[in-house]
Each structure stands twice: as C-alpha cells, then as structure tokens.
Amino acid sequence: MSKAATDCQFPIICTHLSKLMAYTFEPGDISPAALRRIANQQLDRLGVRLGEPADIAAGHHEARKCLKRLRALLMLARPVLGCALWREADRQLRDIGRCLSGARDAEVLPQIFDRLTRDYGEAAFDSARLRLRKALAKRQTADSITPGKLQLSERIDHFREQLMELPLDRFGTEISFASLAQDYRSGRAGVAKALASQDAEDLHDLRKHVQRHWRHMQVLSAGWPEEMRARLELAKALSERLGEDHDLWLLHCRLHDGAAGRQDAKWVNEIGGLCQDRQLTLRAEVARLASQLYAERPKHLRRRLAAYWAAQEATGVVAADDVVPGQERVPVGR
C-alpha cells in the first residue's frame, strides 16, 4: 500500500479506534463483556493519568474522573452483583479516589480564596490576606500527600483482577435501565432533602447523585445522542454549581480549623460572609437546574430511555459524529 493511501486511511482508523475507546455501550451490546471492556478502558486511562509527571494536579483530576465513571458503571450492575459485592467493589474505587482528593483541594482552594478576595476593597485586609493565603497553602500542602504511584498501581491491578471474577452473567439492558431508574429515584429524594435543609453535606451528597446520573447518560448515550445532549449539559451545569458550593464551604472550614490565627479571626468571618453570599446565588441556580433535571418520574424516564435504546438497536450502530459533548475518550496510541 502506498504512503498516500495509508495517510488517507489513517483518520478513518483513528476515528474507529477512538469510537471503540468511548465510555459508552454500543447499540445491541449492553452485556457483561461490554461492561468489562468499558471498565478496563477506564482502568487503562486511570493508569495513564496517574503517570503524567508534567502536570500532576491535572493528571490526578483526570484520574478521579475515571474513578467516577467506573463507580457509575458498576452502579448499573448492582442488582446482579448484590449489595455486598457491589459495596466492596465501590469501596475500593472510592478509597483510591480519596487518596487523590487532597491534591485536588490543595490546588483548588487557594484559587477560590484568591478569586473571592481579589476585589475586597478594605486596605487593612491586605496583610491579613497574605497571612491567610500562606496558612491555607501550608495546610493544603500537608493534606495533599498521596500514596506512591506503585501503591496506587497495585490497587488498580487488584481491582482489575476482581473485575474479571465479578458474577455479571445476568447483566443486560433491562438490569441497566432498572438500576439507572433506582439511582435517579434516590437523586430525586436527594434534591428534596438538600433544598429543604440547605445543609452543605446534603448538597454534597446530591452532587454525587448528579454526577452518577451524568455518567449514566454518557454510557447510554448511543440510544439517542441528540436527546442525551440536553440532559448531559444540564447535569454538568448542576454538578459544577454544587461543586463550587462545596468548595466554598470547605474553604471556610479550613480557615476556621486552624489555618488562621487569632489576629485574623475578624477577616475569617468576613471571608465567611463572602462565601455565603456566593452560595446564596449558587443555591438558587441549583434549585432551578435540579428541578429541571429531576422533573420526570423515574418510571417514565426509564421507559423513555429504554424506548430510545430499542429504536437505536433496531436501526443500527450510532454514527461516529453522534458522540455527545462531554463524552470521554482515551487518546489513540495510549
């Protein structure tokens, strides 16, 4: 084959390989083998991200996203695994994620502090701002220590071995949509609880539901990519606002829990007021977005999405150009 012919075929090959590496079930193939394929691809991506020395923070951020996709994927198989097996598998992934969360907070919280206080007008705050910023960065550096790459790799390899042993024989389309609907039902309850209590922990728990639903829409997006696009964008927007709300709460807690000295107590209270002002705006947006995302009853959502999937299975494989925004892919060659 000539070089010109090879060059012409290369984009087609890359598109095909990239499609195979997408975080999505293909029409007609919600099966144990497909679940393991997607999970192994995410584990491969996780290993790659943890091995990126050029930008450790970005690598850890992407690694945590892989773990969230894996946990959402396993949630779909919960009915066939049973509570005990599912909880153990989920715990292993959760614990790996917790090893990386300190590094994420170490990068993000000082940035939020800077953004909040950048336009604060009182000149007397300037020296206190520098002290608080330094104390916060010191606290976050201490909290950001993570296990070594070898230890994390061993945990990932151990989980991969267990993945092959999980009893997934009964996993399929019906199980997936039943599990999705059950988790969506829990998310609706989480919305009611969080909006009623306005408690930071309840809002954080709601974000976990939203992120799982976001990933469920991704992995099942082949049913109707254009229709899924709206739900994905809505879930992403809601997740981002809930995430910022939690970061503001965490920042205020860090400053109160020893990052500031007595001389700066007044300024910590001032920053707390800035956090609360921003949270009021965010929580109003959360209420609006959550009411849209969770407007539909679980059984209606399940039937509608299952109908889309059945229609897609009947008409053929989703086109390569129909991938929804936010769909994560492993770069070809990695």
Identity (one letter) of the amino acid at 183?
A: D
- Is residue 78 left, alpha or beta, with left meaning phi > 0 and alpha meaning psi from -120 to 50? alpha
**Is-contact 275 244, C-beta < 8 A?**
no
Q: Which of 220, 127, 232, 103 is nearest to 172 (CA)?
A: 220
Query: Tens of pLDDT along 195-243?
Result: 999 999 999 999 999 999 999 999 999 888 888 899 999 999 999 999 9
Torsion sign, CA atoms 201, 203, 205, 207: negative
Query: Tens of pLDDT along 55-83?
Result: 667 788 889 999 999 999 999 999 999 99
Give the integer Cα–Cα distance in Å for 168 and 85. 11
Burial class (CB in 10 A: 0-12, 13-18, 19+), 201: exposed
Give the integer Cα–Cα distance in Å for 123 and 279. 25
Q: How far is CA 34 from CA 22, 63, 77, in A?
A: 12, 21, 12
Give the integer Cα–Cα distance in Å for 226 and 222. 9
Give the integer Cα–Cα distance in Å for 185 and 299. 9
How many C-beta atoms surround the C-beta of residue 228 within 10 A?
23
Query: Tens of pLDDT along 237-288?
Result: 999 999 999 999 988 888 877 655 566 777 788 888 889 999 999 999 999 9
Collect all residues with Cβ–Cβ distance below 8 Å to 104 and sequence separation of at least 6.
57, 60, 61, 64
Q: What is the DSSP letter of 1?
A: -
Q: What is the CA radius of gyration of the chain?
A: 22
Mean confidence (pLDDT) of the chain: 82
Helical spans, DSSP H, in 118-224? 125-143, 149-165, 173-197, 200-219
Regarding predicted confidence, which is higher, 127 or 300?
A: 300
Torsion sign, CA atoms 35, 219, 180, 315: negative
Res 127 pLDDT > 70: no
Regarding predicted confidence, which is higher, 296 or 328?
A: 296
pLDDT recorded at residue 39: 96
**Is-contact 97 67, C-beta < 8 A?**
yes
The gap from C-alpha 198 to its chain's centroid, in whole angstroms, comes to 22
Q: Which CATH number fits domain 26-318: 1.40.20.10, 3.90.1150.10, 3.90.870.10, 1.20.1250.20?
A: 1.40.20.10
Banded model confidence at residue 307, pLDDT cuts 50, 70, 90 = very high
Res 153 pLDDT > 50: yes
Domain ranges of the chain: 26-318
